[in-house]
Structure 1
Amino acid sequence: MRGDMAPEADWIFTDARIWRGGPEGAAPGDADSHGVREGALALREGRVLALGAASQVMAHRGPDTAIFSLGGRFVMPGFVDAHVHLLTGGLRLFRVDLRGASSRQEFHQRVADRTRITPVGEWILGGDWNQEDWGGAFPDRSWLDRATGEHPVFLQRMDLHMGLANSVALELAGISAETSDPENGRIDRDPETGEPTGILRERAMLPIYDAIPDLSDEDCIAAIRTGAIGALALGITQVHDMGAVQKLSESWQSLRVLGTLEAEGRLPLRVNAALPVRHWRRAAELVQAEGYGGGRLRWGGVKAFVDGSFGSSTAWFDEPYLHEPDSRGGPVCDLKRLEADLTGALESGLQPVVHAIGDRANDWLLELCATLERRTPGLTESLRVEHAQHLSEAGLAEFGRTRRFASVQPLHILDDAPWIEMKIGEDRGRRSYAFGSLAAGGARVALGSDWPVAPMDPLGAVRTAMTRILPEGVGAGEGGVWNPGERLDLATALRAHTWGGAVAGGWEAETGSLDPGKFADFIVLSENPFEVDPEALGRDVQVDMTFVDGILAHRRDDSPL
């Protein structure tokens, strides 16, 4: 029975192997070399009450305490996915899926199948195509026109930085041979006729976005809840939502819907929502009026973009692309405006989360931070660099020197690594996806997915960060390993996908580790990941249970628990 002074637990989970998580060096003295200890976990009112040796934790047992044996399974903090597009990802589950389409014929048929069940004249949306899957040639509107009739169609590439429109969509958007390329964007054209091919890059997509009807709140709720429930099945208890990728207004609509779900007790997991940096004044007013949120919903981040994407060859590099010698990519915005917006946001207590992929984009952002720090020391401490995929030597050192947040996505390696040497060469490729150097140098690393650009799969992300093994048949080093010197060990990868994300989102006081007093956001794995081959993560090691606020939010159907 519990001692008179010991608070009574609601739940005690026994026969567990517990990895508490938290910052490096935080493991208790009775843990093994990996920080894992055998024992029990007690919960009270949705928070961690105690963990440790079963004899100590059972002191919190009362007459109404429920006892649950985990049969020796592995318990750890829930995964934090530090970079998702929750609304966009949820919507994609209801739209045309072109991921893995390996020929023009397959591309065409998947779209034609969706056309058959879509009312005449309604938009057909979706995408996730990758031109490398069928040899590298970009599709054009002729791939769509014959199959889609009166439907306007817009299908984005998997990175969301370019898309393919059919002729109906181009007409509705007012894009023709006479339309000039916008600043920071490009309309691909037939070299003989000058007519748009249908491929629109970066800001050239804006007229299409304007022509697409606004979302209903009902569609927004369905998309968010579907995406969130899918995340829970993967062991994700917290996501950092980067907002909409089309209309800026969608980010505000998404936040409003998230707030409604939170107030009604229907938000399945924790969400840290970002708003557009262009709207930082409005975001600052929200924070001033209502704070940064609480419970399962927070806000205060503002999303910005410096450049485009590697796959679309719009990422900004110091030196030209090898396959496009006349192009270095470039910024996708007015840099003076971006500098003013970031400065205003920081001075207002907001957290910029800034997309930067190419080495020049990262250097520009780091140089801006250095300038602002000289003016106001500590001002840029919260700023996050999203992706940080390709770094200069100076940039890599600066990440460590300033302990800059690097929010990175390991599963992008599987999409980009096969083409890195062809596009930017071996030397620049050595500093691509430099997770090991970032972590060893002192940068604060957080792992995420960028869903739906890449799959939402934390165990797969940890596996890829550890092994950097590319798919069979794809060029890499010995054993299929690409840049082996940049691998992370398991403890570092798990920490970056839990504690690292919580710190990057300013939520570490209540999430990211299983310390007493924190929210009881944790998962139960079928095996101890420290005792299996890394390649078994996501295959033999599976998520049996997911808890948010101490409430069972997911249970694997075939789990014996």
Structure 2
Amino acid sequence: MLERRKSDRPVQAKATSEQSQAARSSSREAKHKTSRFFTLGKLAAGSILLAGFSLLYRTGLYGSGSLPSTYALCSATRPAIYTADSGNTVSQCLLVRGSRILHTGSLDEVKRFWDSNSSVAHDQEMQSVLKVPLAMRYVPPNAIVVPGMSDSHGHILEYGASRLLPLEGSKDSRAAVDRVRDYIIAHPDILNDTSRYIEGWGWDHTVWPVEEFPSYRELEGDAIVRGRPIVLQSKDGHAQWVSKALLEQMLPLPDSVDGGIIIRDKDGNATGVFLDKAQDLIKKPPLTDVDRLLRFKLTVEDALSKGLTSLHDAGFDPTSLQFFRSQAELGNLPIRIYGMRYFNENVEYWGNQATKIIDHNRLTSRSVKIYADGALRSGGAALFEPYTDNPESSGFMRTDPSVLYEFIPRFMKDGWQVNTHAIGDRANSIVLDAIESAVPNGPDDTVGTSLRPRIEHAQIMRPKDAARLAKLGGQLPFITVIASVQPTHAVSDMWYAQERLGPERVKNLYAFRTIIDSGARVALGSDFPVEDMNPLAGFHAAITRLSPDGRSPHGPNGWFPEQRLTRVEALRGFTIDPAYASFSEGDLGTLEPGKVADYVVLSQDIMTVAVDKILETKVIATVIDGEVAFGTL
């Protein structure tokens, strides 16, 4: 149990009237290539760098290169291809032509298909293809094949930034400062220039011996670190810790911030920690496209090595959107991206004017991300009742409910998928109310025939609200509300959750089984860089409710084991369910004829191996559009 010094709790400025009322494992060769190209990138002009990476991707920066234009991928002795189709079929072979799947089945069935179609193919080119001997590829004896895996909620550029100066795992604030110090010393250009902006990511006060927010004074206490402009993002992304130099640039500070908190000491002075919307006060130098490109490459390197073929980015600001749009135009996307556009209530409504991007060179952007509340870890999740460990606060709504009631219906009416961040039980209930009010007069008031609003995180949800996820779809068949959840959050937060929420309310936290049994759909992700982006870590957490080393507060059967998912549900949660959540289930998510040949070869069978062996699984190859993007096949 963490020690708390409540008498020394920093004084917090009011967040809103609402608050006052409610109060790495990739190959060595790939890493070498990436590091070398980063060095070249810093020396190159931006336009040359962007064009250069397009060529690098086409020549297999991460993978082993081209496969035959048509080939069969088989397991020599047994069915080992988990198709994730409606029957959860396990096949022996996968027949691929170009970027598409032609057929699945046993080795004999695939050969019969090949032979029988060679004489009846209507396409002359196809006839010539089918008349040549079928090229064969075999997976290793214990390996399996699964559809390309997707992460339904992550932050692409932020993950790349977190790789530059990682703070996760720091045992206390002093250790975090030491990491900043070591980073400065390791970079002579930064060491010799005290004006250089420094950014880090991942500190977590909830695991420190004394659970309290850090202060700028701790940064000033180190002779190497002091006097520099530094901003350090918390693990959950909802708090930033800044140095005195940056804090002074922000003066004078407002007394309060709607939807955010300025942490203050007992004398009312800002300590250098800013929560949620208060983070907008921090002055940062703008990123260049070269900065974005380098961060993007770090993310891609890790994602492909972990078997991810698609990433849902939970919040493109306008400059990020333009960056990814330009990368798509250049053919520079080695991975599929489903981007949610960032909502800013202070900007004129754009839902009736902006153009949606639908699968343009692996980029789709047809959704908007809205924040309802803050985070549980930093005490900003909006609850119906006060926090058990802080009775003075019930969290806060980062966005006023009136704004949600106005803009969720407007975006939905204009045909945008609305993806709303909601953590606390009160925030989730309000978001469901807003969705329910969005289409009062039926499908004629909508654009298109299917709306799939998502609740991002859906962490604390009363059972009656979990039931509403499915009920809305029953009442309004053209609306399917999707819970986009992160299993690794559960096994990270389980150690402090009951202290924060109490023994009864904690039962509604990460209640995935309750949500699924209600008839609702879920899509799984990691919220990287908040958690490990490895989908196998999420798979393990979903089916065990255990930490990676096999522990939980409730013992070896897992934390609230009744909320565990089955292996089939977890596999679908990282494959076909994210495809459905991004309107791409017609092409992605399963290994069926006609669909895109995105798949992953894993070193062992995660569907049958002992649970304590799952995280030993390696990615042998990641294939996108029928081509090896990572590894060897």
TM-score by length of 1: 0.89
Counterpart of 2:578 (choices 501, 524, 530) is 501
Matched residue type, 2:149: F
Q: What is residue 359 of structure 1 aligned with on the other side? A: 425
Q: What is residue 194 of structure 2 aligned with on the other side? A: 120
Deviation at 1:473, TM superposition (A): 10
Encode CA deviations 1:39-61: one digit per residue, 9 max, x unaligned: 21111121111111212222435
Q: What is residue 98 of structure 1 aligned with on the other side? A: 167
Counterpart of 1:227 (choices 267, 281, 299) is 299
Contact 1:408/1:446 (CA < 8 Å) preserved in 2?
yes
* CA separation of 1:335 and 1:217: change in aligned 2, threshold 3 A: same
How far apart in 1 are the matches of 2:84 and 2:426?
35
Correspondence 1:20 to 2:83: yes
Counterpart of 2:90 (choices 30, 36, 39) is 36
Counterpart of 2:396 (choices 330, 338, 349) is 330
Q: What is residue 488 of structure 1 aligned with on the other side? A: 565
Contact 1:470/1:476 (CA < 8 Å) preserved in 2?
no
* CA separation of 1:291 and 1:212: change in aligned 2, threshold 3 A: closer
Deviation at 1:272, TM superposition (A): 0.6
How far apart in 2 are the matches of 1:280 and 1:348?
15
Greater RCO (CA < 8 Å, at least 6 residues apart) = 2
How far apart in 1 are the matches of 2:365 and 2:182?
39
Q: What is residue 630 of structure 2 aligned with on the other side? A: 554
How far apart in 1 are the matches of 2:460 and 2:554?
19
* CA separation of 1:480 and 1:173: change in aligned 2, threshold 3 A: farther
Contact 2:409/2:437 (CA < 8 Å) preserved in 1?
no
* CA separation of 1:175 and 1:92: change in aligned 2, threshold 3 A: farther
**Which region of structure 1 is more displaced relative to structure 2, 215-224 or 397-406?**
397-406
Encode CA deviations 1:120-165: one digit per residue, 9 max, x unaligned: 2111112211112222122111111233233111111111111111
Encode CA deviations 1:220-267: one digit per residue, 9 max, x unaligned: 1121122122101101101111125xxxxxx22222222232233221
Q: What is residue 276 of structure 1 aligned with on the other side? A: 342
Q: What is residue 138 of structure 1 aligned with on the other side? A: 213
Deviation at 1:284, TM superposition (A): 4.6
Q: What is residue 213 of structure 1 aligned with on the other side? A: 285
DSSP-derived class of the 2:562 partner: helix
Correspondence 1:52 to 2:105: yes
Correspondence 1:303 to 2:375: no
Q: What is residue 12 of structure 2 aligned with on the other side? A: none
Correspondence 1:313 to 2:379: yes
DSSP-derived class of the 1:324 partner: coil
Matched residue type, 2:72: I
DSSP-derived class of the 2:526 partner: coil
**Which region of structure 1 is more displaced relative to structure 2, 9-18 or 157-166?**
9-18
Percent identical pairs in the alignment equals: 30
How far apart in 2 are the matches of 1:240 and 1:222?
19
Q: What is residue 542 of structure 1 aligned with on the other side? A: 618
Contiguous gaps of at least 5 residues in structure 2: 1-67, 115-129, 474-480
Matched residue type, 2:326: T
How far apart in 1 are the matches of 2:337 and 2:351?
16
How far apart in 1 are the matches of 2:620 and 2:384?
46
Q: What is residue 78 of structure 1 aligned with on the other side? A: 148
Deviation at 1:283, TM superposition (A): 5.3
How far apart in 2 are the matches of 1:81 and 1:499?
11
Q: What is residue 286 of structure 1 aligned with on the other side? A: 354
Deviation at 1:347, TM superposition (A): 0.9
Contiguous gaps of at least 5 residues in structure 1: 1-7, 28-34, 245-250
Matched residue type, 2:573: A
Encode CA deviations 1:58-96: one digit per residue, 9 max, x unaligned: 2435427532111343111011100011111112212x2
Counterpart of 2:272 (choices 198, 206, 211) is 198
Encode CA deviations 1:96-122: one digit per residue, 9 max, x unaligned: 211010023312211111233223211
* CA separation of 1:99 and 1:274: change in aligned 2, threshold 3 A: same
CA RMSD, aligned part only? 2.1
DSSP-derived class of the 1:139 partner: coil
Deviation at 1:471, TM superposition (A): 6.3
Q: What is residue 424 of structure 1 aligned with on the other side? A: 501
Contact 2:621/2:628 (CA < 8 Å) preserved in 1?
yes
Encode CA deviations 1:281-338: one digit per residue, 9 max, x unaligned: 4455332xx6524341111110001000000010000010011101100101232223
Q: What is residue 314 of structure 2 aligned with on the other side? A: 242
Matched residue type, 2:296: I
DSSP-derived class of the 1:142 partner: helix
Counterpart of 2:456 (choices 374, 386, 407) is 386
How far apart in 2 are the matches of 1:92 and 1:67?
41
Deviation at 1:457, TM superposition (A): 1.1
Matched residue type, 1:149: R
